[in-house]
Amino acid sequence: MALNVLVTGGAGYIGSHTARQLVTAGHRVVVLDNFYSGHRWAVPNSASLIEGDVANGELVKRLLRDHKTQAVIHFAGHIVVPESVENPQKYYLNNTAGSLSLMQACMEMGVDKFIFSSSAAVYGTPEVLPAREDAPTAPINPYGWSKLMTEWMLRDLATSRKLDSARSDGQGGFRYVALRYFNVAGASIDGSLGQATPEATHLIKVACEAACGKRDGVTVFGDDYDTADGTCIRDYIHVEDLARAHLAALDYLTADGKSEILNCGYGHGFSVSEVLNQVRQISGVDFAVTMGSRRAGDPPALTADVTRIHEVLDWTPQHQDLAVICRTAHAWEKEGMSKRSETTAPSAHWLSSLLVI
């Protein structure tokens, strides 16, 4: 069933992969992005592109009305953990308050399907791994709190308010799927999309930059954790698999699925040292690695229990392999990014004049 879908942050890393899959699946896509970290060239040519901010309530309501939007997939948000520790107000203003403004617009305009880009950071340092969705939530950084607060707002809106369009049988109303991402990495298999975030901090991206000579090397933030090799362990998921999970969540809500919170990962992790060795093997480059002190807000290990997502959604990962993740990331860093240009992007919509900084 083709839907009219608003994708916030659709010019960014995960948003652009998802927008392309939505278009391929036949959905009509509108991308709203303020280009804080997104790129025009990453947006599918057949999507409508509007430059603006989710916090601009009047702009968002106009888009929802004019495009007869039936669902929103919300990616727009800041994601750098250390920065959130240093500048928490930036994260609460953009991630939490901005999300509330977007939700309010959806409620007012009768949009009843909402998919939220959440994070495993809501778990903090779990006592039991892999972490289940019903595990205690105890973020250890403002980034995690900003995501958890948004989950709370979604829960409360879905519980306490029905839309005017809710059916007489009591079903329908505002429903959501919050996808708790673990560590997203890799690039599209065809090499046309990848992570182009300026000054990215994600390990695989940084390691591939080092392998391509774009960095002097990689700093490992702590090698004295209680893990097998002393470095942090994370559950990595390929960006194409993650994008596919959003389409599966959209199908689920379209079929009257109830609100859900679901982990997005593969259910097993790799240490920082294992990742670096994998990138070295794929690239053939023995880039420099420096051992540094621990970074604020980093748990020793974080892996997902993925039982629920497989029970709830029609979703089967296709790239569940660290080598595939690192190989696509490295190919993008080596060749894909150099071919990208802002001139290949669709023109911004006339509403760009309403951009909110």
Cis, bond preceding 300 (omega within 30 deg of 0): no
In terms of Cα–Cα distance, which of 306, 357, 354 is closest to 62?
354
Rounded Cα gap, residues 331 and 349, in angstroms: 32
Q: What is the pLDDT of residue 355?
A: 26
Q: How far apart are CA 206 and CA 199, in angstroms?
A: 9
- For the chain, give the number of residues: 357
CA atoms of 99 and 255, how far apart (whole Å): 25
Sign of the C-alpha dihedral computed for residues 40, 149, 181 and 88 taken in this order? positive
CB 183 within 8 A of CB 241: no
Q: Are 239 and 188 in contact (CB under 8 A)?
A: yes
**Could you write out the three-class secondary structure of 256-317?**
CCCCEEEEECCCCCEEHHHHHHHHHHHHCCCCEEEEECCCCCCCCEECECCHHHHHHCCCCC
Q: What are phi and psi of 220, to 5 degrees?
A: -95, 120
Homologous superfamily (CATH) for 4-354: NAD(P)-binding Rossmann-like Domain (3.40.50.720)
- Residue 50 · residue 349 · CB < 8 Å: yes
Residue 74 has φ and ψ, to the nearest 5°, of -105, 105
CB 330 within 8 A of CB 279: yes
Q: pLDDT 10s per residue in the chain (357 long)?
A: 899 999 999 999 999 999 999 999 999 999 999 999 999 999 999 999 999 999 999 999 999 999 999 999 999 999 988 899 999 999 999 999 999 999 999 999 999 999 999 999 999 989 999 999 999 999 999 999 999 999 999 999 998 766 544 444 444 589 999 999 999 999 999 999 999 987 788 999 999 999 999 999 999 999 999 999 999 999 999 999 999 999 999 999 999 999 999 999 999 999 999 999 999 999 999 999 999 999 876 889 999 999 999 999 999 999 999 999 999 999 999 998 776 754 444 433 323 222 222
Q: What is the pLDDT of residue 162?
A: 60
| Backbone φ and ψ of 40, nearest 5° | -60, -40
Hey, is 95 helix, strand or coil?
Answer: helix
Domain boundary assignment for the chain:
4-354
pLDDT in tens, 216-255: 999 999 999 999 999 999 999 999 999 999 999 999 999 9
Answer yes or no: are the C-beta atoms of 30 and 53 closer than 8 Å: no
CA distance to 245, 268, 291, per residue, from 230 (Å): 32, 17, 11
According to the model, what pLDDT value does residue 103 have?
97
* Crossing angle for the helix pair 272-283 and 322-331, to the nearest 10 degrees: 50
Please state, in angstroms and rounded to a whole number, the distance separating the CA atoms of residues 336 and 27.
Answer: 26
Structural tokens at position 25: 């699946």
Distance separating alpha carbons of residues 70 and 272, to the nearest angstrom: 41
**259 within 8 A of 115, measured Cβ to Cβ:** no
Beta strands in the chain (DSSP E): 4-8, 28-33, 48-51, 71-74, 113-119, 175-181, 183-185, 217-221, 233-234, 236-238, 260-264, 270-271, 288-292, 301-302
What are the catalytic residues?
143
Q: At what angle do helices 98-109 and 142-160 cross, to 10 degrees?
A: 20
- pLDDT value at residue 343: 42
| CA–CA gap between residue 204 and residue 332 (Å, rounded) | 12
